[in-house]
Chain A
Amino acid sequence: MELDNTMLARILTSLTLGFHIIFAAMGVGIPVIISIAEWLGIRRKDPMYTLMARRWVKGFTVTVAVGVVTGTCIGLQLSLLWPSFMKVAGEAIALPLFLETFAFFFEAIFLGIYLYTWDRFKNPYIHWLFSIPVVIGSTASAFFIMTVNAFMNAPQGFTLANGAIVDVQPLTAMFNPATPTKAGHMILSSYATSAFILAAIAAWKLLKGNRHEYYRKALHFTVALALLFSFGTALYGDFAGKYLAKYQPAKLAAAEWHFETKPQAELIFGGVLDRETLEVKGAVKLPYALSILATGSPNGEVMGLDQIPRELWPPLVIHYFFDGMVAIGMYMLVVPLLYFAVRRWKKGNVPRPLLHAIFWGAPLSILAIELGWIFSEIGRQPWILVGYMKTQHAATTADNVGEMLVMFSLMYAFLAIVCSLVLKRMFKNKPIEAELK
């Protein structure tokens, strides 16, 4: 690997995105869960749910702050590291970027209002209403940003004439074929991950021996949401497979190590690739599964890498990222199902191993989001704008990218440490019993 400007810019972008996405996913998902909890609390007149909303939103303010500042970083870094690409983006896909700032405005304003108007109104539903614009704003932000990423994968809505972009159709560019699956899969996985993070806190407390009703209710509530959202994520993952087969077959084929175009294609899980002979050893092979994922039929034909010129193959390593993401996705579906089955069977008791499994769902779901992004971004290579602009032609020509990489790495490490310490201290000093009085 040569550390030229392109590679350094890629590493720095992935570092910022990789750090930001954790907080961004929570920023999209946690408001939804808080809003539902507050509503349940009012409707059932159950102070436990109201307290969940209150406690979660306190921690949320800290993570949202990190999300906002790192979001500013990636927003500006796109122009600093990929100036040629952003010029094209400005010409063809500026609309959703611009709309995203409005969504963000909306979210920021109402988050401020939501945080500082608890107990200000006699009718508790008025305060709850302020959570709705926060939910709409954050999910709309995610949607608009995902349309831009979708555009990078499936550009349309413009014509290239003599190197200039003409005949722009902003809505066609925005609603490109990749938009539904990209946005749906990311938004739902943010919801699912957020549910697992909040479930993990409750599971942790129960494992530590705290038998308070608050934690049992919180666990039940968040695991139920985790099941719902994980199911939605998996469904959209399936749609995304079909999208890839149709519009970006190279990405799917590379992810599946699918070299030969054929019907009744098997899905390869794990394994080791011989780079010379392109033979796969030690993999689990699920017959027909790839055809089903790609076309919805066991007999469907799936294009292999044999149809694609070698220099346009995405790096084959993405197979592992893809498999990791899918495996964790299954875990996120199975664990909540097990929870409901066991709970029914054991009459309300949750055994410790299951609590451990729920706890690990939080770091694993974050890992799945990271793996999914790495898969998607490396899988788009060598293109930054598929079919139009290669990554190496988009990177900045400025000096000092390496130094900036070091500076940002130090900052993210520092923020990660301080943020964890602050969150830990916030709740250690405020046990649930003290807040319930």
Chain B
Amino acid sequence: MALETLAITVLWIFLYGYIIIASIDFGAGFFSFFCKVTRRDHIVNAIIERYLSPVWEVTNVFLIFFMVGLIGFFPDTAYYYGTALLVPGSIFLVLQSLRGSFYAFAHYGARNSTAYLFVYGVTGLFIPASLSTVLTISEGGYIEQMAGGEIVLNMGKLLTSSYSWSVVALALVSVLYISASFLTFYADRAKDTAAVKLLRSFAIAWSLPTIFASFLVFLSIHRHNPEHFDKMMDISWLFLLSFACFCGALALQLQKRSYGWAFILVMLQFAFAFFGYGMAHLPYLLYPYITITDSINSPAMGKALVIGLIAGLFLLIPSLLLLLKLFLFDAKYVQGRPIQK
């Protein structure tokens, strides 16, 4: 496999990982806040807390890994995206800083503070919205290189574009849908029937909006970047598989059974769609300025990064499995019973 293909595949896998676990996290924050306001927090918040506590810091690293890896393998992206994204990037940073610190403050310092939960819950919706605009920008048409070489982001165009808003809508509903599907599964493992009932109703409520928003994004890519749309049509079977997974997951949830399989189908639904989108996006990292073949780092650095990656994965994968084993697959922990081995 060519270095650039290998690099973008690995980065895309990590970004996919981030989308799944960050969605769970963002959605959980919003549900905690929502249930607190509607006085149903006693039903779900213990479940949410038990899952989030040990893993919240790991979520952040997936994103940092993607960003650093992107700059390492494709250094041109630092220059173009770095210049263009000063304002949206900074807003994202402020939101994620507030969210991360308020999680710790609320969790370890002042429990039950509605104000802290508000910051935590609401930033969790703004962050995916702001991050998703990076994907919008990558479609081209929003970043322009001036005659003098400087790079400018056309904010007015970004904020008034229907494509941009359809992506934001998709990001928001996906976050809530993925999160509710996962938490239903987690609550089911914890044998907490009241929480399952509530979280399942959230999952079902957000399922149709998710698929509706996906179609909307499809249509607006057609209008905004026909070249990308045509390439997506060439691999339309991936998107059909994605839709099939969605139907399967919804069917299971409606029948109140196999929530674990339902969540795996949800993950597959997003995997097919996300990789289909990504494959059709290639070779461009930013239409029309950066392609993976032009911007790939030198073979020497590429080799060093790949070796680092392999060594890192040997460390990372067993550690992640241990984390999952202790907190996701350990029935006693999930059920909140005291454990002594």
* Residues of A that sit less than 8 Å from B by CB: 58, 61-62, 64-66, 68-70, 72-73, 75-77, 79-84, 86-92, 94-95, 97-102, 104-106, 108-113, 115-117, 119-122, 133, 165-171, 396-398, 400-401, 403-404, 407-408, 411, 415, 418-419, 422-423, 425-426
Contacts and interface: CB of A to CB of B under 8 A. Distances in A.
Of the listed residues A58, A73, A100, the one surrounded by the most CB atoms of chain B closer than 10 A to its CB is A73
Contacts of B58: 105, 108-109, 112
Interface string B31-64: 0000000000000000000000111111011011
Of the listed residues A133, A396, A400, the one surrounded by the most CB atoms of chain B closer than 10 A to its CB is A396
A92 B297 CA distance: 9
A97 B70 CA distance: 11
A400 B68 CA distance: 24
A121 B79 CA distance: 50
Pairs of residues from A and B, 8 with the lowest C-beta to C-beta distance, nearest first: A90-B75, A65-B104, A83-B82, A94-B72, A422-B109, A102-B312, A112-B54, A79-B82
Contact of B81 (A70, A79, A121): A79
5 contacts: A97-B68, A108-B58, A112-B327, A170-B301, A422-B108
A18 B65 CA distance: 23
Q: How large is the interface on B (under 10, 10 to 19, 20 to 34, 35 or more residues)?
A: 35 or more
Contacts of A76: 67, 89, 92-93
Given A79-B67, A111-B57, A113-B323, 10 more contacts: A65-B100, A66-B104, A72-B63, A79-B71, A90-B74, A94-B75, A101-B65, A112-B57, A121-B341, A398-B83
A407 B67 CA distance: 23
B97 A102 contact: no
Given A83-B83, A94-B72, A419 B105 contact: yes
Contacts of B56: 112
B309 interface: yes
Contacts of B109: 62, 422-423, 425-426
Nearest to A164: B298
Interface in B284-341: 297-298, 300-301, 304-305, 308-309, 311-312, 315-316, 319-320, 322-323, 326-327, 339-341
Contacts of A65: 57, 100-101, 103-105
B97 A73 contact: yes
Nearest to A117: B326
Contacts of B96: 69, 72
A44 B186 CA distance: 40
A244 B290 CA distance: 40
Contacts of A84: 79
Given A113-B322, A419-B105, A422-B105, A68 B315 contact: no
Nearest to B152: A398
A428 to B, nearest CB: 11
B69 interface: yes
A90 B78 contact: yes
B339 A94 contact: no
B86 A400 contact: yes
B94 interface: yes
Nearest to B75: A90
Given A80-B89, A102-B308, A94 B71 contact: yes
A90 B297 contact: yes
Interface of B: 53-58, 60-61, 63-65, 67-69, 71-76, 78-87, 89-94, 96-105, 108-110, 150-153, 297-298, 300-301, 304-305, 308-309, 311-312, 315-316, 319-320, 322-323, 326-327, 339-341
A77 B89 CA distance: 8
A141 to B, nearest CB: 11
A72 B97 contact: yes
Contact of B323 (A58, A79, A92, A109): A109
A406 B61 CA distance: 27
Contacts of B72: 90, 94-95, 97-98
Contacts of A94: 68, 71-73, 75, 297, 301, 305
B300 A169 contact: yes
A290 B89 CA distance: 45
Contacts of A403: 87
B98 A168 contact: no
A110 B152 CA distance: 42
Nearest to A95: B304
B119 to A, nearest CB: 10
B68 A75 contact: yes
Contact of A80 (B85, B101, B305, B316): B85
Contact of A408 (B85, B90, B304, B308): B90
